[in-house]
Amino acid sequence: MSIQVIGAGFGRTGTKSLQLALEILNFNQCYHMKVLLRNPNHVIQWENAYLENPVEWDIIFKDYKAIVDFPGSIYYKELAQHYPDAKVILTIRDLESWYKSALKTIFSFDPGVKLKLKMLLKIPFSSVARNLLKVVSLNDKSIWRKFFEGKFKDHDYVISKFNSHIVEVKQTIPENRLLVFEVKDGWEPLCKFLNLPIPNIPFPNTNSGKDFHSWARGIVRDVLK
């Protein structure tokens, strides 16, 4: 199996809805941050990406046809080079609403005292717990400290970073290989880009900001069981 679709859009730009849409379109399975959280052993290869060491992408994606969301989107160039036949989808949304959503959700996510204590107690006996802690640490280092340069609370900087990312993706990926996509536009532009028929069901709309923290804590809780 090989990656056929690469998401270059930041988290909270509709990446979870796009993941579900791609799976409906038979791009099974589609990698997303939640997949990394549920498979923390993948952290070894993502650490290599962060350190700019060689990455065995095919090990991570051996069961996947697509990838969206962080952390993959910050390595879209490397992925596009490794999978030269894959198409690239850049999800975007209104910048102000995206920033407010990201600040309140993925940037500020905290599993809570009970789950952190449970993780720490399991670390000496569980490779899963150890790797999950590495995932949490790596996300902080690679996304918030390196990619956003530790400035995610600086509104103007982050908006500028978002805009420059859009420009960079458009300059890097050929037009015939790229779709700039807002999930509110639904199936038509996505299916046209992928040369697929439009499904006879509504486009997925999931992972709202108000549900994010309980959803993410649920994943951590399940992994630690």
How confident is the model over 166-189, as pLDDT tens digits? Answer: 999 999 999 999 999 999 999 999
Mean of per-residue pLDDT scores for the chain: 95
* CB distance 125 to 132 below 8 Å: no
Q: Cα–Cα–Cα angle for 161, 38, 144, nearest 5°? A: 20
Three-state DSSP at 6 gives strand
Identify the pLDDT of residue 207: 65
Which residues lie closer than 8 Å to 80 by C-beta, 6 or more apart? 6, 86, 88, 172, 173, 177
pTM for the model stands at 0.95
Identify the pLDDT of residue 1: 67
Identify the pLDDT of residue 112: 86
Domain 5-213: CATH class, spelled out = alpha beta
Query: pLDDT tens-digit profile of 117-150?
Result: 998 899 999 999 999 999 999 999 999 999 999 9
Average pLDDT over residues 7-21: 97
Q: Kindly report which listed range (36-50, 124-138, 209-223) carries the lowest average pLDDT score.
A: 209-223
Beta strands in the chain (DSSP E): 5-7, 30-31, 66-67, 87-91, 178-181
Which residues lie closer than 8 Å to 207 by C-beta, 6 or more apart? 16, 17, 215
Identify the pLDDT of residue 166: 98
DSSP structure string for 168-191: HHHHHS-GGGEEEE-GGG-HHHHH
Query: pLDDT tens-digit profile of 98-123?
Result: 999 999 999 999 888 998 899 889 99
| Cα 127–chain centre separation | 23
Report cis status (omega within 30 of 0) of the bond before 4.
Answer: no
Share of the chain above pLDDT 70, in %: 99
pLDDT bracket for residue 211 (50, 70, 90) = confident
Q: Cα–Cα–Cα angle for 208, 204, 36, nearest 5°? A: 65
